[in-house]
Structure 1
Amino acid sequence: MAPHDVETTFQRHFGYAPLLVRAPGRINLIGEHTDYNNGFVLPAAINKEIFFAVGLNGRPEARLVSQDLNETYSFPVEAPRRQDRQWANYLIGVTAQLQKLGLDVPGFDCVFGGTIPIGSGLSSSAALESGLAVALNQLLDGQLNRMQLARAGQLAEHEFAGVQCGIMDQFASLHGRAGQVVRLDCRSMEYEYFPFDTTACDIVLCNSGVKHALADSEYNTRRRECEQGVALLKQHYPGIESLRDATREQLEAHRAELGDVVYRRCRYVVEENARVEAACRHLLAHDLTAFGQEMYGSHAGLRDDYEVSCRELDFLVEAARPAAGVYGSRMMGGGFGGCTINLVAPDQVTTFVRNTRAAYQQQFGRALETYHVTIVEGVAVV
């Protein structure tokens, strides 16, 4: 899939020249489920992408074409409403959010398709939202900045896709820089770039093949459990507005009141924030071994305290741990499936991929897809 593929489809369907936009998926090196708790994340945009062909059609409706699914959908732009076609909801939602931000969105045509594996935890939904937002902002000469576009994508997900996601995925797709990861403070929205030495290690993703639906109850349940913890802690410590403000000592002091489940959810988030800050220090010190230990700690917390892993992800992380040249491994994304992210010395990548595929096939009786990814620029007009 390349830009000219969606352009060709657009010309065939609609008969005029479109604007072309590339929107990347994202990885998150560390900092999982911290974004909606006002914490820290460390994502980057990657070369798994969705390409868009978009044009204004002078009609009262938007006409959408999903090239990968070979499906079409249309909706009236003056009254965007949530529909029963889930992929369309992301785009309908973006249209509605841009209108709320004062952009007068007329009828438009959109063809999209790409290389982000659906359900892999690489944030195809955020790329979908961010790409359309940039395209419409450009076509309509809008003055919305990238943070506003990220927020529009996040709210589209909340209100139209039914997922109470944080801001990280849309932010990373829009703010990516080649060869750098970005630490986002999800409370202040301040961010800082850190160099990621791609000569010292490669990024290899192993796709468990287990499909996860983020919109299912578990993701939103975790968010509610964290909110319950904050509400209780706030009774004792009025300064606590989110788990970002809480300490391990405060959690321990009220462990019995919190109850086992809520306590463990909160403990994971508090510790994960500390791991992100430590990981950034390791990057500055060029200490990939120490960085990798933070990744293993992150996975253990996601598995045991947050309980969003699955046996396939756990198997992949444990298979990576003793492998030559592997600095670190963990599950990535919302959980219940998707990918592990592995930092591997370049001269060991081929062996790592071969051995991990063989072990996975033997254990689960199915093929393991792997992706060798690079860190790229964020959403851009092609």
Structure 2
Amino acid sequence: MLFALSFTLSQSPPMSTPSAVAATFERHFGYAAPLLVRAPGRVNLIGEHTDYNQGFVLPAAVDKELYFAVSLSEKAQIRLVSHDLNETCAIAPDQVHRTETQWANYLLGVVAQLQKRGVAVPGFDCVFGGNVPIGAGMSSSAAVECGLAFALNQLLGTGIDKMELAHAAQKAEHEYAGVMCGIMDQFASLFGQAGSVVRLDCRSLEYDYFPFDTQACRIVLCNSGVKHSLADSEYNKRRQECERGVEILRRHYPQVQSLRDATLEQLETHRDELGPLTFRRCAYVVRENERVLAACRHLEQHDLAAFGQQMYASHAGLRDDYEVSCEELDVLVEAARQVPGVYGARMMGGGFGGCTINLVAPEQVEAFIGQVGAAFEQRFGRVPETYQTTSVGGVSEIGPGGR
């Protein structure tokens, strides 16, 4: 079909490797870990804030990953080590609860979800670390959750399928991190496929893979350097605003169970009742769902230029109607527009910081990095990090070859 997923790395964050994580495990706990797992972060080409509205998304798992060394223990303790932060947390399996250690809550939330599903989780030891840029909108939190969920599923032989693991990881984020995320991030981390992006219907959970060919374009991520904390941002408020819109529409259209069911015509008819703010939030989601479906048609037609226009329209909606962009992201997108060979650009992730995602002709990648970096530096006095990466398979055990 058209273009496989590959990106460009200009400046790289510090990297933890599987061998480094395994070595830290042995040094810290005094024995070798029997299980090594990799859990990828993700990018999303288009379809932002649609997942929790039961809409469509188009993500890919990428080779910015977290690595886990995990072993069951005879001790009645869960002992967790963050390799990158050099921090630890310990708790008894029968006393799992939210703690003051925020990174540990993502892991403990997974344990709690397995326990709710009737899994007797014994004591275990875990070290994790990796190279997913934190706060860049690449879903490091989902990688944390999915990596441990997969590892415990393997070690305990519980046989929970991947979709149920995705739901467990999502619930962990809801209940232990306080972020009411949709299913996309966890799904992408578990269901990624090398050389592909995947369109997920967040209501039916049906999905289709779309292969990409790196000869046609590259995907370059530009990091605004603004780190967001979704739990402390207005992410949850946006979800509430969408739910309010659905509640109003349902009074007139009982078939509208989510914004996936709503139309722009319905929104326009009840614009006054919705109010300007709720109208804009809902209109963005309805239009974004339409853009994802249109973008997939453009992929099938090998039309990168049309796909890129959907990306620009997505960013405008996120900036003006959903109001989750920021000045740094807007500058990056506008700078990208000025570079020849750029098909499209938009902010990616929950918003309020993180990365932009850009489709760039291969021969223009170097010029793109230079020009966008210069424009950003002129405005903010610093050069943004840029990343190039490749789509990979979902969460898996790391074999002798390192994958």
TM over 0.5: yes
Query: Any residues of structure 2 matched to 1:43-58 within 5 Å, and which?
Result: 43-58=59-74
Residues 1:148 and 2:201 are matched in the alignment: no
Match of 1:252 in 2: 268
Q: Please, which of 149, 173, 179 is the counterpart of residue 133 of structure 1? A: 149
Q: Please, which of 12, 17, 22 is the counterpart of residue 32 of structure 2? A: 17
> Matched residues in 2 for 1:119 and 1:301: separation?
22
- Using the TM superposition, give the Cα deviation of residue 214 of structure 1 relative to its aligned residue in structure 2, in angstroms: 0.6
Match of 2:23 in 1: 8
Q: Secondary structure at the match of 2:257?
A: coil
Q: Deviations over 1:187-224 (max 9, x none)?
A: 11111111122221111100000111110140010000
Contact 1:195/1:283 (<8 A) preserved: no
Query: Any residues of structure 2 matched to 1:1-382 within 5 Å, and which?
Result: 1-18=16-33, 19-382=35-398
Letter in 2 for 1:55: S
> Matched residues in 2 for 1:343 and 1:356: separation?
13
Q: Secondary structure at the match of 1:187?
A: coil
Q: Secondary structure at the match of 1:215?
A: helix
Q: Secondary structure at the match of 1:23?
A: strand
Bigger CA drift: 171-180 or 354-363?
354-363
Q: Runs ≥4 in structure 1, deviation > 3 angstroms?
A: none
Contact 1:275/1:294 (<8 A) preserved: yes
Letter in 1 for 2:21: V
How high is the TM-score relative to the length of structure 2?
Answer: 0.94
- Using the TM superposition, give the Cα deviation of residue 76 of structure 1 relative to its aligned residue in structure 2, in angstroms: 1.2
> Matched residues in 2 for 1:60 and 1:36: separation?
37
How high is the TM-score relative to the length of structure 1?
Answer: 0.99
> Matched residues in 1 for 2:290 and 2:195: separation?
24
> Matched residues in 2 for 1:182 and 1:102: separation?
31
Letter in 2 for 1:116: V
> Matched residues in 1 for 2:115 and 2:212: separation?
37
Letter in 2 for 1:149: L
> Matched residues in 1 for 2:228 and 2:30: separation?
37
Bigger CA drift: 27-36 or 75-84?
75-84
Letter in 2 for 1:205: L
> Matched residues in 2 for 1:84 and 1:230: separation?
35
CA RMSD of aligned residues (A): 0.8
- Using the TM superposition, give the Cα deviation of residue 357 of structure 1 relative to its aligned residue in structure 2, in angstroms: 1.3
> Matched residues in 1 for 2:160 and 2:209: separation?
22
Letter in 1 for 2:215: T
Structure scoring higher RCO (CA < 8 A, sep ≥ 6) equals 2
Letter in 1 for 2:19: H
Q: Secondary structure at the match of 1:112?
A: strand
Letter in 2 for 1:225: E
> Matched residues in 2 for 1:102 and 1:90: separation?
19
Q: Deviations over 1:265-319 (max 9, x none)?
A: 0000000000000011111111111110000010000000000000100000000
> Matched residues in 1 for 2:212 and 2:265: separation?
33
Q: Deviations over 1:30-86 (max 9, x none)?
A: 000000000000000001010110001111111011011110111111121011111
Counting matched residue pairs gives 382
Identical aligned residues as a percent = 69
Contact 1:24/1:127 (<8 A) preserved: yes
